[in-house]
Structure 1
C-alpha cells in the first residue's frame, strides 16, 4: 500500500512538473523568448541550410574547380592545360566524364560542413557585432554597415576555414592526382592517414596562413557585397528588380555573382600560394603535377612569403593568377547558387532569422 502511495506521489509530482515546464515554455513564447529545444532546432536547421547550399553550389561547378587547381600547380615548362575550354576537353579525353568530377566527393565532404559553419557563424557574428554597434552608438535602430558586414564575414570565414582545413588539404592532392600518378590516394581517409603517417600532423595545416589571410577579404567581401547590394536595391527600388519588399530570384543571383567576382579577384593570389604549399612534402607531387621537368626546388617553400617570392621569381607575377579564368567562370554561378539556395532552404525549413535580417 505504501509503495502504491509512493508511485502515486511520484506520478503526481511528474505531472505537476510537466505542467509547470509547459507553462514556463508558454510564458517564454508569449514574451518572445525561445525555449532551449526550439533554439537547438533552429541552429540545426540553419546548419542544414548552409550545408545544402554548399553541396549544391560546389557540385554544379566541380569540373571548373578541378581545372582551376590543375592550372594553379602545373609546371610552366610542361603545359598541359592552356585554358578553360582546352583544359576541360583534355580532361574529358584523358580521364573521361568521371575525371571532370574527380575530387568532388572529397570537396563536398569538406564544403558541406564548411558552408554550414560559415553561414551559421556569419549570422551569430552579425548579431554580436550589431549588438555592440548599437550599444556604442546608443541607437537601437542602427543596422550593420558594409564595413561591419565585412568584419562579420571575415570572422565566419576564419572559423569555417580552420574547422575544415585538413579536408581542403587532402582534397587538393586528390584533385591533382591522375590515373598515371605514382602515388594513389584511395580516398579521403586514406589520404588523411597517409599524410599523418608520412608527413606528420602539421602537414594537414600546411598553407593555413595564406588560406586564413585570403579568406578574410574573400568571405568578408562575399557577404558584405551581397547583403549591401540587396539592401541598396530594396531601398532604391529600381524598376522591375524589386517585388514588394523582396528581390526576384534573378536579382538575388546577380547580387551573389557580383559578390563572388569581387571577393575572388582580391583573394586569388593567396589561393594559388595555399595550393602550392599544400603540395610541399608530397614526394610524388613533381611527377603528378608536371611530369619529370619540374625541379624539386620549385616544390620546396619555407613559408608563405618564400612561396610568393619563388613563384614570382621563377614564373612571373602572372603565375599568381593562374587558373583565374576558369575560377571566375566557376565563382559567378557558385556563390550566386550558394546564397540563393541557402535562403530558399531556410524558407522551406521555416527558420525565422535570415542573413539579411
Structure 2
C-alpha cells in the first residue's frame, strides 16, 4: 500500500489487499521477504535492547552527576533519548537487510527481474546500483526511528512506573505488573511510536525503490509516465508524494502496519523481560 502506483490502484484496503495477494500470488505471496525479515530482526532486536540498557546507564550516570542526587531516576525525556540512541544504532547496523526486504516484498511475478533471495538481492543491488544503494532511505529512517523507538521505550517505561506508583488502580502487586498489564503498556507504546513516525516510514520505503528499474509496482509521477518516480532526497520525496497524492498518502498502509506493529512491540518488550527473569538476569529495562 505504501508504494503502489496511485494511477493503477489494485487495492484500497487491508482485507482487499490480502485477498488480491492471495488470488494472484497464493499463500506464499503473503510471506515474501519474511526470511530476510527474520534474519534482520534477530540482530536488530538484540542490538536495540543492549544499546538501550547501555545508553540508559550512561545517561542516568551523567544525570545523577549533574543533579548531585545519586537516587535520581530517568525522566521520560531521558528515556526518549536513550531509546533514540538505541534505535539509530540498531537500524543502521541492519539497514541493508531492511532495504532488500522491501524489494523482495514488492516484487511480483510480472516484475521483469526477480530477486531469488536475500543474498541474491544484496549482490544484485551492489553490482547494479553500488554500495550506497543499500542505504537508500537511511536519513528518513534515522529521523523516524528517533520518535519511533524512543517513544516505544519512553511510553512503555513511563506507563509501567506510573501504574506501579499508583497502586490504587490495582494493577501492581509487590511492585510487579502482570504480563497482561505489561502487554497493554507495550501496545500503547507501539501505537504512539508508530503513528508519530509513520510518514517517515512511507518515505523510506519509497526511496528504497528508487533506481530499481525492474520494479513492477512503484509510484509514478503521472499516468503517462511509466518510469519509477525519482527522488533527489527525503524532502523531495515528501514534496512529490504530497503533491501527486495528497497528505493522506503519507499514511498509506497505517491500518495493516498497526495490526502488525502494536502486538509486535508489546510481545517484544514483555518477552524480553520474561526471558531475562528465566535466565536469572537481575537488571531489567525498568531498573
Q: Normalising TM by the smaller chain, what interval?
A: over 0.9
Distance change (3 Å), C-alpha of 1:289 and 1:307: closer
| SS of equivalent residue, structure 1 residue 143 | coil
- Runs of 5+ in structure 2 lacking a partner? none
| Partner Cα distance (1:294, 1:88) in 2 | 28
Correspondence for 1:51 = none
Correspondence for 1:5 = none
* Structure with more relative contact order (C-alpha pairs < 8 Å, separation 6 or more): 1
Pair 1:171 & 2:134 matched: no
> Over alpha carbons, which structure has the higher Rg?
1
Structure number having the greater helix percentage: 1
1:272 to 179, 202, 213: 202
1:75·1:294 contact (CA, 8 Å) conserved in 2? no
TM-score between both structures, scaled by the size of structure 1: 0.77
| SS of equivalent residue, structure 2 residue 32 | coil
| Partner Cα distance (1:284, 1:297) in 2 | 10
For each residue in 1:233-292, what CA deviation from the matched residue of structure 2 results, as whole angstroms up to 9, or x when unmatched? 00002434212211111111100000011011110000000000000110012x244799
Q: How does 1:230-309 map to 2 (within 5 A)?
A: 230-285=160-215, 287-289=216-218, 295-296=225-226, 299-309=229-239
1:72·1:323 contact (CA, 8 Å) conserved in 2? yes
The count of aligned residue pairs is 286
Pair 1:86 & 2:16 matched: yes
Q: How does 1:201-220 map to 2 (within 5 A)?
A: 201-220=131-150
- Runs of 5+ in structure 1 lacking a partner? 1-70
Correspondence for 2:59 = 129
For each residue in 1:155-192, what CA deviation from the matched residue of structure 2 results, as whole angstroms up to 9, or x when unmatched? 00010111111011000000101223211101111000
For each residue in 1:211-248, what CA deviation from the matched residue of structure 2 results, as whole angstroms up to 9, or x when unmatched? 00000000000000000000000000243421221111
Correspondence for 1:157 = 87
| Partner Cα distance (1:284, 1:158) in 2 | 30
For each residue in 1:7-30, what CA deviation from the matched residue of structure 2 results, as whole angstroms up to 9, or x when unmatched? xxxxxxxxxxxxxxxxxxxxxxxx
| Partner Cα distance (2:157, 2:31) in 1 | 31
| Partner Cα distance (2:16, 2:99) in 1 | 26
| Partner Cα distance (2:28, 2:219) in 1 | 21
| Partner Cα distance (2:22, 2:62) in 1 | 53
Moved beyond 4 Å, runs of 4+: 290-294
| SS of equivalent residue, structure 2 residue 255 | helix
| SS of equivalent residue, structure 2 residue 169 | coil
TM-score between both structures, scaled by the size of structure 2: 0.96
Q: How does 1:326-345 map to 2 (within 5 A)?
A: 326-345=256-275
2:247 to 291, 294, 317: 317
